Amino acid sequence: MGFAAHARRYLQQGGDVTNVRRPVAAGSFYPGPADALAATVDELLAAASEAGRSGVPRGALRGLIVPHAGYLYSGPVAATAYRLLPMLVPPPSVVVILGPSHFEPLDGLAVAPHDAWDTPLGSVSLDDGLRRALVRAGAMVDDRPHLAEHSIEVQLPFLQRCLPGVPVVPLAVGACRPTVAAGQLRAALPGSALVLVSTDLSHYHDDVTARELDARTAAAIEALDSGQLRSDDACGVDAVRVSLAWARSARHRIVRLDLRTSADTAGDRHRVVGYGAFAIVDV
User: How confident is the prediction for the chain on average, in pLDDT?
Assistant: 92
**Residue 253: pLDDT over 60:** yes
Confidence of residue 80 (pLDDT cuts 50, 70, 90): very high
How many distinct structural domains can be found in the chain? Answer: 1
Enclosing domain of residue 156: 3-282
CA distance 248 to 245: 5
Q: What is the CATH number of the domain that holds 216?
A: 3.40.830.10
Contact 278, 95 (CB under 8 A): no
Dihedral sign, Cα of residue 23, residue 25, residue 27, residue 30: negative
Q: What is the pLDDT of residue 55?
A: 63
- Taking a C-beta distance cutoff of 8 angstroms, is the pair 149, 99 a contact? yes
pLDDT above 90 covers a percentage of the chain that reads 86
Cα distance between residue 121 and residue 278, in whole Å = 26
What is the reported pLDDT for 26? 98
Give the pTM.
Answer: 0.91
